[in-house]
Structure 1
Amino acid sequence: RQRVALARSVVIEPDLLLLDEPLSNLDAKLRDEMRAELSRLQHQLGITMIYVTHDQIEALSLSSKIIVMNEGLIEQIGTPETIYEHPATSFVAKFMGFDNSIQGQISSIGKDSLAVNVKGNSIEVVKTDGMALQTGDKVNLFFRPNDTKLISKKETNTLPVSVSYSNFQGDSTQFSVKSDEVELRAVIPGKYNKKEEFKFIRILPEKLIVEKETNE
């Protein structure tokens, strides 16, 4: 049905084509096939498409520019690479897979990085352009499950954790861990059953997104 509907839409060669979640009712395999077909058609025909989706993979793979909206308001406009690597708000970060969030307070600011105190643990964050932060600011840190490492001994940029459970997902294993009552997720490649070995979660400094807390 989707292929027929799409063919009817493009046969008249419109200047602009609006697609409102056209793949939402398809199974995973067919959704992948249709996503590739849409990308091929768009490049072949040169039609401008406005594609509405709640799926980050569709947004990243099909677009040259993304507009992220929240309750009718624009949160961020940018290329897929910019939106993915440098989300401007917590809403955009969570949409782009920054599922983990911890609170802390800035303890020091250097030339290239800043240090955030998280329950007595120092977490380094690589500075990026546009950071308007000061020592003492309360902040939220966001990071993806894939940008972490579970380890047995304390290192730099680590938080103590206890493993709640693990979930094998084929090419990786997802862990749910708890750090001072905060639930976090971590993903490691392959299958790993010795979860009792993991005592700390290490967060990559260059992969952290920092946002100042507001009183709203």
Structure 2
Amino acid sequence: MKLNRRSVLGAIGLVGVGTGAAFGSGAFTSTTAERAVEVNVFGADAGTEGTVPAGEAENAVDEQDENDIGNTIIGNSIDVLVDTSPESVAVRARNGDEDIIPGNELFPVDATTGGYSDLNDNYVSLVANDVRIVFGPNGVPPNSTLTFGDLFGFVESSGTTGSSTDFDVTFGDVDANPSQGQLLTKVDGKTVSTGATVEVTGSGTSPVDGTVESGTTSQETENLTIEIKEQTQDS
């Protein structure tokens, strides 16, 4: 299986409550700040760079191109996507452009191959698109807990690389970085700091929720690993 690295930044916008309010050493007052979760996705490849405009976006790829990209991803692995339907979830391109990109203007929108047609148009592929995920683009209070239902979706493998089409997707690798899971704390109700694993089967896997805790400290960036790994068959 081809093993590529896809970096995704998840940004959490924070705003202090009340002028001059203090929340301890290094804490926020009334100044807006941004939290970032830098996510490294291993184990999937789309053959794309940057973002893939789709739907009504300018220079959008057509349906055939979308299906070709989708087949590249699920022919060897699976896709992991983020739902931008909630008002508090959005994405930006990582090329320095700070404009919010509507989720229904990025791949996949018109893809019909595999399980892509089962997801709404606001799901954005984290394998095909190099984006920042923004929680609370207009700011959320510090020391808050936000839970988003169906935050992460999956498109299962088409099974063209072998008999097994089941994969484990693990959010967080404490061995690589013991500080992971301080911002995006839970996925599917499991703790990210110790590795939150979701099984994606060949028969399809429902989207799972995610929990974000804004906290009160001034930490701005957290590294997070998402590893996609094919399950092995017991002999």
TM-score interval, normalised by the smaller of the two chains: under 0.3
Q: Which has the higher contact order (CA 8 A, sep 6+)?
A: 2
Q: Which entry has the higher C-alpha Rg, 1 or 2?
A: 1
What is the TM-score with the length of structure 1 in the denominator?
Answer: 0.24
Q: Which has more helix, going by share of residues?
A: 1
